[in-house]
C-alpha cells in the first residue's frame, strides 16, 4: 500500500517524468471538491501546467484539475480559475450528511467554513423559521434544514449560477418546501417581515450594513443574528464582537446574549469572525423599508 501523502506521490511522479527541479517547485497545497481538484500554481510553471495537472488526475483519480488564476472577486464571489487537466467541472461535496452540488469553475466553496457549516446545523432548533440572506449554493441553509430541522429556511441568492445550484441542492437533499430559494438581491426581494427566529448573514468583508434588513425580518419578540465580518488579528474576535453590539445598539435594538468566534484566518493580519447575538428589534423595524448599504 502506498502511504505517501498525495502531494508527495505527485512530486515523485513528476520527478520521474520531468525532473527534480520541476517536482521541487510544485506547491503541496490543494483543495478537493468531489471529483475536482483546485491548485495554486505560480505562473512561472505555465509550460508545465498540463504535466502537473495530469499527474494529479492520475494520483488522486480526480476528473479535472483547476488552477486558481486570481482571488475570488466581487460581490457574487465568482472564482477566477482555469482548467489545466481533465474535463467537466461539476462536482458534489459531501459534508456532515449534506450533499452540495456545484460547478467548481463557476461557484465558490470555502473549505475554511466547514466547521461553521456544521455549527449552524447544530445550533438551529427544530421548527425554527430561518432566513439566509447570502445563501450561495446552500452552504448554511442546507445544514439548517437537514440537521437543524428548521421548519422553513428562506434562502436568498443574487448570483444566478449559485441560485441554480441552490435549487438543485434543495432537491438532492430531499428538503422539499422546507428550503425556499429566493432569487435576487436580499434587500429588494420579497421576504416575510417579523417572522424569523434566526437570520444568517454570511457575507464578507462585512455583513454589518445589512443589520437593518436583518432586524426587520426577526420576530418582534426577538431572535438570533449570525453576523459575519473580517477583523484585524490585533483586535480579533473581541473587536468584532463589540463592533456588532455597538451597531445594533445604535439601530435601537435591544441586545441580549452574544458571543463571537473565529471562523478562519483571512489573509495576513486578518481573520473571519462570526458574532452570534440574540436581539430584539426596535418596534418600527419590521415596517420600515431598509436602505441599500453603501459600498
Ligand X SMILES: C[S@@+](CC[C@H](N)C(=O)[O-])C[C@H]1O[C@@H](n2cnc3c(N)ncnc32)[C@H](O)[C@@H]1O
Applying CB under 6 A, the residues found at the interface with ligand X are 75-77, 110, 113, 134, 136, 139-140, 156-159, 162, 185-186, 202-203
Q: Is 266 helix (H, G, I), strand (E, B) or coil?
A: coil
Q: How far is the CB of 74 from ligand X (least distance, A)?
A: 8
Instruction: Supply the minimum distance, in Å, between the C-beta of residue 31 and ligand X.
Output: 13
Dihedral sign for Cα atoms in the order 126, 127, 128, 132: positive
Closer CB to ligand X, residue 110 or residue 124?
110
Q: Do residues 129 and 49 make contact, with C-beta atoms less than 8 angstroms apart?
A: no
Whole-number minimum distance, CB 184 to ligand X, in Å? 7
CB of 195 to ligand X, least distance (A): 19
Check residue 73 and report its DSSP letter: B
Query: Rounded to a whole number, what is the distance in angstroms from the first to the last CA of the chain?
Result: 54
In the complex, minimum distance from the CB of residue 158 to ligand X, in angstroms, rounded to a whole number: 4
- Do residues 245 and 278 lie in contact, with contact meaning Cβ atoms separated by under 8 Å? no
Of 18 and 230, the one with the shorter C-beta distance to ligand X is 230
CA distance 50 to 191: 47
Kindly state the cell numbers that stand for 213: 434588513
* Number of neighbours of residue 21 by Cβ within 10 angstroms: 9
> Residue 211 CB: number of other CB atoms within 10 A?
25
Residue in the shown chain whose Cβ atom is closest to ligand X:
202
Nearer of residues 53 and 202 to ligand X, judged by Cβ: 202
Pick from 80, 82, 79, 90: which is nearest to 35 by CA? 90
Q: Which residues pair with 265 in a beta bridge?
A: 271
Which CB, 10 or 227, lies closer to ligand X?
227
Nearer to ligand X, 33 or 57 (CB): 33
Least distance from ligand X to the Cβ atom of residue 76, Å = 4
> Minimum distance between the CB of residue 183 and ligand X, rounded to whole angstroms?
9
- What DSSP letter does each residue of 36-71 carry, written as one string? EEEE---GGGGGGHHHHHHHHHHHHT-SEEEEE-S-
By beta-carbon proximity to ligand X, the closer residue of 49 and 134 is 134
Task: Write down the least CB distance from residue 235 to ligand X, Å.
Answer: 22
User: 202 vs 212, which CB is nearer to ligand X?
Assistant: 202
Q: How far is CA 7 from CA 4, 29, 226, in A?
A: 8, 8, 37
Rounded to an integer, what distance in angstroms lies between the CA atom of residue 133 and that of residue 23? 44
| Closest CB to ligand X among residues 10, 142 | 142
Amino acid at each position: 500500500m502506498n502511504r505517501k501523502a498525495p502531494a508527495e506521490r505527485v512530486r515523485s511522479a513528476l520527478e520521474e517524468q520531468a525532473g527534480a527541479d520541476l517536482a521541487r517547485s510544485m506547491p503541496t497545497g490543494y483543495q478537493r471538491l468531489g471529483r475536482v481538484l483546485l491548485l495554486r500554481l505560480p505562473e512561472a510553471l505555465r509550460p508545465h501546467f498540463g504535466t502537473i495537472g495530469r499527474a494529479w488526475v492520475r494520483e488522486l483519480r480526480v476528473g479535472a484539475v483547476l488552477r486558481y488564476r486570481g482571488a475570488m472577486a466581487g460581490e457574487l464571489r465568482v472564482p477566477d480559475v482555469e482548467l489545466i487537466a481533465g474535463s467537466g467541472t461539476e462536482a458534489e461535496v459531501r459534508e456532515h450528511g449534506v450533499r452540495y452540488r456545484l460547478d467548481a469553475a463557476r461557484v465558490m466553496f470555502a473549505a475554511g467554513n466547514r466547521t461553521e457549516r456544521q455549527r449552524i446545523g447544530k445550533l438551529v432548533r427544530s421548527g425554527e423559521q430561518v432566513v439566509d440572506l447570502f445563501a450561495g449554493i446552500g452552504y448554511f441553509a442546507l445544514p439548517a434544514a437537514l440537521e437543524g430541522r428548521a421548519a422553513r429556511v428562506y434562502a436568498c441568492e443574487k448570483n444566478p449560477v449559485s441560485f441554480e445550484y441552490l435549487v438543485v441542492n434543495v432537491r438532492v437533499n430531499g428538503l422539499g418546501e422546507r428550503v425556499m430559494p429566493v432569487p435576487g438581491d436580499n434587500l429588494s426581494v420579497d421576504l416575510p417581515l417579523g417572522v424569523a427566529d434566526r437570520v444568517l448573514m454570511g457575507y464578507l468583508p462585512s455583513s454589518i450594513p445589512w443589520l437593518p434588513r436583518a432586524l426587520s425580518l426577526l420576530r418582534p419578540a426577538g431572535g438570533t443574528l449570525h453576523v459575519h465580518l473580517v477583523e484585524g488579528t490585533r483586535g480579533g474576535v473581541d473587536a468584532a464582537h463589540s463592533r456588532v453590539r455597538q451597531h445594533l445598539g445604535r439601530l435601537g435594538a435591544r441586545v441580549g446574549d452574544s458571543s463571537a468566534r473565529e471562523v478562519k484566518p483571512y489573509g495576513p493580519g486578518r481573520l473571519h469572525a462570526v458574532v452570534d447575538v440574540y436581539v430584539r428589534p426596535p418596534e418600527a423595524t419590521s415596517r420600515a423599508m431598509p436602505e441599500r448599504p453603501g459600498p
